[in-house]
A and B are shown apart, each in its own frame.
Chain A
Amino acid sequence: MNASAPYLSIREVNKVYGGRHGEATTALKSISLEVKQGEFLAILGPSGCGKSTLLQIVAGLIESSAGAVVLNGKPVTAPPPEMVYLFQQYSKSLLPWRTVEQNVALVFESKGMKKRDIAERCGEYLAMVGLASFRSHYPWQLSGGMQQRVAIARALAAQPRVLLLDEPFSAVDALTRIELQSLVLDLWARQGLTILLITHDVDEAVFMADRIAVLSSRPSTVEMVVETELPRPRDAMGTRELPRFLQLRHQLVEHLLNRQNAGRVDA
């Protein structure tokens, strides 16, 4: 495969809800994005702009009304094994009747592995997210940040090439969010993953991504794509104090605010 060819292409994707009898709502309007292998792309947009819809179409979890998603040359019609979707609602995506270890084990059980091997592999992935000593706990005995770590460990255990992150840090407190951002960046670099991150947090998008695609509110279109051009590895404190970081954040916040105000005048 050509190194510069896109690994994942989103081609002219449309999503229309309703229709037939009710009034049709266009959530996504001809969205096109290309992602290189190993790239970290953030998709930034206001709440309710259809970001999650877009990501779920990419994941093969819901169908688009028109357009296509192509992963490594193959169109996505069902969830591909090399792509895993991580939900914002960790408390709903973990199985409360299973321990932390058994939650991770879910991805190995269908592969006909021996019990001992499964336990070993689960231990490895839990160690990656710093939860090795919590393997026998139940999810509801852990804090929100720790639950999201379990979900991250389980997602990685499925050995994806592409990780789709749907506002994964928006339900945890500010300090935990900073910790998890660094953890994910570290895992991204070590595992050679390709990541699509959806967020409404400008700071998070600039801090984590290589490129940021800004979506408009409904019907969503790609308004602009910017390269962050920030050095790696990123540092939770240092990167946020770089002039380029501040300039980018300023530019993006200004853009989002202007648009919001323009919207108000129109209305």
Chain B
Amino acid sequence: MPELGRKGFGLLSVLGVLLLWELICRAGLVNLFLLPPPSQIAPALWKILASGSFLVPLGQTLGMLLIGYTIACVAGVVLGLLMGCSDYFYGLLEPLIEVVRPIPKPALIPAMVVFLGIGAGMKITMVALAALFPVLINTLQGVRGVDPVLLATARTLGCSRFATIRKIILPASLPMILTGMRVSLSMGLVLVILAEMLAAESGIGFLILDLQRSFQVRPMYAWIAILAAVGLVLNTLFEMVEDRAVPWRAK
């Protein structure tokens, strides 16, 4: 099936679920106040989009996400390279990472609030913490997985250690690094929303919880729909970057 045709076909399942949802509501099987049908959520969504009132919360949430995510990507790649290329750094950092990595990151939000407050610093730190490990671990595995033939080739051609890292190890690990960054992006989105729900006065997460508490159920669902779209757009953008950055991977 051609690419577009396949995507169009997959859209059927989405439409099917929406239709089923609509039918369940219309058949009176659920309380319409708690679970309004898509046909009632759509106007609420339209109102938010048309008025432009989505811009500020969306900007706040994405801003926190992107700053934290960028910090995590840079730190993850640098630490992963250091650990992958040097036994010394590996020995030094591996125990620390194995202790911090298994902690479910949302569990750290209350602790972060205690000494960072409920502002941007706390949210950025949480996003960075959650997004760091997939990038770091994948970079490390990518570096370790570089083909020995490639490394021996670099040596026999007289590449210095630094040139080997920059020109061979880094690009050879790029597919793995990008896979880690993709996982991290979703983790970061989860954490920023959660941090906004637990301790914040702005952002989409705060808004969704606020709407729920004030029984504005339809706009609440509308915002969830916006979040779904944000996730989809971020993922699609990422795939486009990936295709451009590692064109040899599919071959």
For window 161-181 of B, CB contacts with A under 8 Å fall at 163, 167-168, 171-172, 174
* Docked complex Cα distance between A140 and B251 (Å): 7
Question: Of all chain A residues, which has the CB nearest B151?
Answer: A61
**Option from A83, A92, A110, A138 in Cβ contact (under 8 Å) with B156:** A83
On whether the beta carbons of B149 and A93 are closer than 8 Å, the reply is yes
Chain A neighbourhood of B172, CB < 8 A = 95
* Docked complex Cα distance between A79 and B168 (Å): 18
On whether the beta carbons of A109 and B163 are closer than 8 Å, the reply is yes
On whether the beta carbons of A85 and B158 are closer than 8 Å, the reply is no
On whether the beta carbons of A95 and B157 are closer than 8 Å, the reply is no
Q: Does A77 contact B (CB under 8 A)?
A: no
Q: Does A222 contact B (CB under 8 A)?
A: no
On whether the beta carbons of B159 and A106 are closer than 8 Å, the reply is yes
Interface of B, secondary structure class, is helix
CB distance from B145 to the nearest CB of A (A): 12
On whether the beta carbons of A92 and B149 are closer than 8 Å, the reply is yes
0/1 interface trace, chain B 121-162, chain A, CB 8 Å (1 if under): 000000000000000000000000001011011011111100
* Docked complex Cα distance between A107 and B158 (Å): 7
CB distance from B80 to the nearest CB of A (A): 18
**Option from A61, A96, A154 in Cβ contact (under 8 Å) with B248:** A96
On whether the beta carbons of B152 and A85 are closer than 8 Å, the reply is yes
Q: Does A196 contact B (CB under 8 A)?
A: no
On whether the beta carbons of A79 and B156 are closer than 8 Å, the reply is yes
For window 214-265 of A, CB contacts with B under 8 Å fall at none
Question: Of all chain A residues, which has the CB nearest B167?
Answer: A106
- With known contacts A56-B152, A92-B149, A97-B248, A110–B159 Cβ distance under 8 A: yes
On whether the beta carbons of B171 and A154 are closer than 8 Å, the reply is no
CB distance from B244 to the nearest CB of A (A): 12
Q: Does A87 contact B (CB under 8 A)?
A: yes
Q: Does B209 contact A (CB under 8 A)?
A: no
Question: Of all chain B residues, which has the CB nearest A154?
Answer: B157
For this complex, into which size category does the number of interface residues on chain B fall?
Answer: 20 to 34
The A-B contact count (CB < 8 A) is: 55
- With known contacts A96-B251, A97-B171, A106-B167, A59–B156 Cβ distance under 8 A: yes
Chain A neighbourhood of B157, CB < 8 A = 84, 106-107, 154-155, 158
Question: Of all chain A residues, which has the CB nearest B154?
Answer: A106
Chain B neighbourhood of A96, CB < 8 A = 248, 251
On whether the beta carbons of B152 and A158 are closer than 8 Å, the reply is no
Q: Does A73 contact B (CB under 8 A)?
A: no
On whether the beta carbons of B150 and A93 are closer than 8 Å, the reply is yes
Question: Of all chain A residues, which has the CB nearest B160?
Answer: A110
Q: Does B246 contact A (CB under 8 A)?
A: yes
Chain B neighbourhood of A87, CB < 8 A = 149, 152-153
* Docked complex Cα distance between A92 and B247 (Å): 16
Chain A neighbourhood of B247, CB < 8 A = 138
For window 88-123 of B, CB contacts with A under 8 Å fall at none
Chain A neighbourhood of B149, CB < 8 A = 87, 89, 92-93
0/1 interface trace, chain B 10-22, chain A, CB 8 Å (1 if under): 0000000000000
On whether the beta carbons of A92 and B158 are closer than 8 Å, the reply is no
Q: List 19 A-B contacts (CB under 8 A).
A: A61-B155, A79-B155, A79-B156, A83-B156, A85-B152, A95-B167, A95-B172, A96-B248, A96-B251, A97-B171, A97-B246, A97-B248, A106-B167, A107-B157, A109-B163, A110-B160, A110-B163, A138-B248, A158-B157
Report B's interface with A, CB cutoff 8 A.
147, 149-150, 152-153, 155-160, 163, 167-168, 171-172, 174, 246-248, 251
